[in-house]
């Protein structure tokens, strides 16, 4: 083994040891959620594995994996639900795993989500550790695990895969690995429409670094100009390459859908319109909340929605005040805006916010300042509540 390979292996082992408490804690929370789901489902005559792999969007993904694109359902009201709405990376991975092993497409989707959820937890830890330190990193990974809709992280959905790609792309940006960031952003863009948030983060951070370097060069004057061009040129080339790669995944799929449907560059928007998905600046969501106040019982739900939305916005404002890195602010801002201002099914909004993990950093920072025993008690209590809610949710209406 070469010296370089040895150093890389040692560095990776050290990074894994540093992240081990976060990963073990995350795995424990998710295992608790699955155990509670299995017990709850058995008591209601359902099977936990079916709820995770063979309902809602999971069926659409396995359908793409098995049959390819082109399938659609026409509803009595005239809506057309086309599987072109689902981005291709997860179905590609399901098809690959099914081709090389004994797994079905549903089994492969579950396996991808389990591995990706651990990778996402590690990426979230890495980002928070880099910015605020190890204790905050552990707290961020655990808080992501105990979110009320955290059970989605174990479903054959694309949220875990996307969050893993996004988190590591952001880490690559923060550590100056621009080509890696571009490749991961490309893959995130092939996973979900919100891949736009990762692309925006890469571009914003790259442009800001260009501006910062120009300002620094102007301040330094000619003193360093004679010895800097080679290094600066290589760094600039890598940054530009990362920027060029970042949008290719999302843009490529959207343009392919436009060509496939014969409706040009905006054909994907027509596909989403068939699902009643769109971006209206939050008007439909505001009307939905306002309608809750027409009766007393539903008014409580309306008040809860307002409080939850205000809480999300408050966490973002705290992140701005704490001067989170630009890439994190842009990423979480775009994810939050797309989730809250979309006219899609309103029950999906908590799930759509799941990838916005930088919103958890202020809470993780507060958790890290507490005594370890007290923090463990808080996280443990929330984990149990989250597991119970996840089991109740999936055995009821569940995520669409």
pLDDT at 228: 45
**What are 74's two structure tokens?**
């026409």
pLDDT (0 to 100) of residue 38:
98
Q: How confident is the model at residue 255 (pLDDT cuts 50, 70, 90)?
A: very high
Show the CA angle centred on residue 236, arms to residues 235 and 241, nearest 5°: 100
More confident residue, 43 or 3: 43
Tell me the three state secondary structure of residue 377: helix
Name the residue with tokens 């620094």. Answer: 216
Share of the chain above pLDDT 90, in %: 76
Q: Please, which residues have CB within 8 angstroms of residue 213's CB and are 6 or more apart in sequence?
A: 232
* 124: nearest Cα among 180, 176, 162: 162
Mean pLDDT, the chain, rounded, equals: 92
Distance from C-alpha of 373 to C-alpha of 376, rounded to nearest angstrom: 5
Q: Is 221 left (phi over 0), alpha (psi -120 to 50) or beta?
A: left
Question: DSSP state, 346?
Answer: G
Residue 213: band (very low, low, confident or very high) from pLDDT cuts 50, 70, 90 = confident
Distance of CA 19 to the CA centre of its chain: 19
* pLDDT score of 1: 53
Q: What is the mean pLDDT of residues 370-396?
A: 93
Least trusted range by pLDDT, from 210-219, 308-317, 332-341: 210-219
- Band of the pLDDT at 4, cuts 50, 70, 90? low
As a whole number of angstroms, the distance between CA 106 and CA 83 comes to 16
How far apart, in whole angstroms, are the C-alpha atoms of residue 58 and residue 52? Answer: 8
User: ∠104-195-313 over CA atoms, to 5°?
Assistant: 115
Please check the confidence at residue 345 and state whether its pLDDT lies above 80.
no
pLDDT at 226 exceeding the cut of 50: no
The residue-averaged pLDDT of 87-96 equals 98
State yes or no: pLDDT of 237 exceeds 90. yes
Tell me the mean pLDDT in the region 269-294. Answer: 88
Average pLDDT over residues 297-326: 93
pLDDT of residue 365: 96
pLDDT for 342? 85
Mean pLDDT, to the nearest integer, of 106-111?
98
Q: Which residue has the higher pLDDT, 45 or 218?
A: 45
Task: Say whether pLDDT at 190 is over 80.
Answer: yes
pLDDT at 166: 98
pLDDT confidence bin for 328, thresholds 50/70/90: very high
225 band by pLDDT with thresholds 50, 70 and 90 = very low
* b/e code 348-362 from CB counts within 10 Å (16+ = b): bbbbbbbbbbbbbbb
So what's the pLDDT on residue 294? 84
Task: Judge whether residue 370 has pLDDT over 60.
Answer: yes
Residue 8's pLDDT is what?
66
Question: Cα torsion for 318, 323, 324, 327, to the nearest 10°?
Answer: 120
């Amino acid at each position: 083994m070469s010296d370089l390979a040895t150093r890389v292996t040692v560095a990776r082992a050290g990074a894994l040891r540093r992240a081990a408490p976060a990963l073990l804690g995350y795995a424990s929370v998710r295992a608790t959620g699955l155990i509670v789901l299995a017990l709850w489902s058995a008591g209601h005559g359902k099977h936990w594995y079916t709820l995770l792999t063979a309902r809602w969007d999971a069926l659409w993904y396995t359908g793409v994996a098995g049959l390819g694109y082109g399938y659609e359902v026409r509803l009595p009201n005239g809506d057309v639900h086309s599987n072109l709405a689902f981005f291709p990376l997860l179905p590609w991975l399901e098809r690959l795993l099914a081709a090389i092993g004994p797994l079905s497409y549903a089994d492969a989707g579950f396996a991808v989500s389990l591995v990706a959820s651990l990778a996402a937890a590690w990426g979230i830890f890495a980002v928070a550790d880099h910015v605020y330190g190890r204790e905050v990193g552990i707290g961020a990974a655990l808080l992501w695990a105990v979110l009320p809709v955290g059970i989605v992280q174990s479903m054959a959905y694309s949220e875990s895969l996307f969050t893993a790609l996004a988190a590591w792309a952001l880490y690559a940006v923060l550590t100056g690995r621009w080509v890696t960031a571009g490749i991961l952003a490309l893959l995130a863009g092939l996973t979900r429409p919100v891949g736009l948030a990762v692309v925006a983060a890469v571009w914003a951070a790259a442009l800001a670094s260009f501006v910062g370097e120009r300002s620094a060069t102007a301040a330094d004057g000619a003193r360093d100009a004679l010895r800097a061009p080679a290094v600066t040129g290589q760094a600039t080339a890598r940054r530009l390459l990362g920027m060029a790669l970042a949008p290719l995944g999302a843009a490529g799929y959207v343009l392919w859908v436009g060509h496939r449907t014969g409706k040009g560059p905006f054909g994907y928007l027509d596909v989403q319109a068939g699902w009643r998905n769109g971006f209206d600046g939050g008007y439909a969501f505001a009307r939905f909340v306002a309608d809750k106040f027409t009766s007393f019982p539903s008014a409580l739900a309306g008040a809860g929605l307002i409080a939850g939305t205000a809480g999300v916005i408050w966490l973002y404002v705290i992140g701005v005040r704490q001067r989170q890195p630009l890439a994190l602010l842009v990423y979480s801002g775009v994810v939050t805006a797309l989730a809250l201002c979309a006219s899609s099914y309103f029950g999906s909004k908590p799930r759509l916010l799941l990838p916005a993990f930088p919103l958890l950093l202020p809470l993780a920072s507060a958790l890290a300042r507490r005594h370890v025993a007290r923090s463990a008690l808080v996280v443990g209590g929330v984990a149990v509540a989250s597991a119970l809610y996840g089991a109740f949710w999936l055995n009821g209406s569940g995520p669409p």
